[in-house]
Amino acid sequence: MIKNNKNGIEYLTFNNISSLDRIRHAFSTRLGGVSTGIYSSMNLGYTRGDIKENVDENFRRMASVLQCEVSDFITGIQTHTVNVLRVGKEDAGKGVTRPVDYEDIDGLITNEPGIVLTTFYADCVPLFFVDPVNRAIGLSHSGWRGTVNRMGKVTIDAMRENFGTDPSHLICAIGPSICMNCYEVSENVADAFMKEFSGCLLTAGDTLDDHKFLMSKGDDKYLLDLRAANRLIMLEAGVPADNIELPGICTCCNPGYLFSHRASKGQRGNMAGFLGIIP
């Protein structure tokens, strides 16, 4: 992952996606926007109580970073589903410059240049997918519900069906999200993962491997590594390990730099992941 600053707008990019031809992408931070208070300052969420004009300006600033228009963005309507929507030029601006006409969409895919897929985060896991062979992209939101329902695989399957994507060609990135030490979950969440991913629980004497991403703390509490789980899902779907970049930064460990739902107890704005094909 790379830290970038353009005219005071601080944003993150991935090494592997940056090396691809005619692809633009970014993950916003809290820094470089105009929102104040708990939204300070780069809040990209219109639904969290912030002033609309401030969010509009924040989107304009991210458009300047991405070298696109605000009317190129298309946003998800995220409700922790594994619903993936194929979008195109006719959807440009939805969620930013005009209303959306869909609901419950946590993943977006396209093969059309110009538009910029946009999804929102504050601890949950952003999944970026680029198919350089068929020039197609996907961007999905994967919290614990999305992860236990294999949002990464669902997105890859949608790209295969729509664009003929071969998973072995995919270049993927797992974006800034909550780390295992910060992500304590209750027994019902842990149970859901143990049921869906046999052998994911790390027990005493185990060595850490790709399949282990859950650890008991006692008292029916567990630590869950959502990034490792999403990486495993990508690997099992056929993405080569070398093609998956990890974030190396935790939202909850860095609450002044990134919005974190946990760290702020829900008093926060939204960051966004952006991914587009350059015309």
Q: Which residues bind Zn ion (CB under 5 A)?
A: 179, 182, 250, 252-253
Report how far residue 143's alpha carbon sits from residue 30's, in angstroms, rounded to the nearest whole number: 20
Greatest alpha-carbon span in the chain? 55
Nearer to Zn ion, 83 or 260 (CB): 260
Task: Closer to Zn ion by CB, 85 or 252: give it.
Answer: 252
Task: Round to whole Å and give the CA distance between 114 and 69.
Answer: 9
Q: How far is the CB of 239 from Zn ion (least distance, A)?
A: 25
Cα–Cα nearest to 214, from 237, 230, 234, 193: 193
**What residues are paired with 75 via a beta bridge?**
118
Count of beta carbons in the 10 Å neighbourhood of residue 275:
27
Shortest distance (Å) from residue 246 CB to Zn ion = 13
Residue (182 or 201) nearer to Zn ion, CB: 182
Distance of closest approach, residue 181 Cβ to Zn ion, in angstroms: 5
The Cα–Cα gap between 273 and 166 comes to 23
Nearer to Zn ion, 82 or 180 (CB): 180
Least separation in angstroms between CB 182 and Zn ion: 3
Task: At 139, list the tokens.
Answer: 């961007």
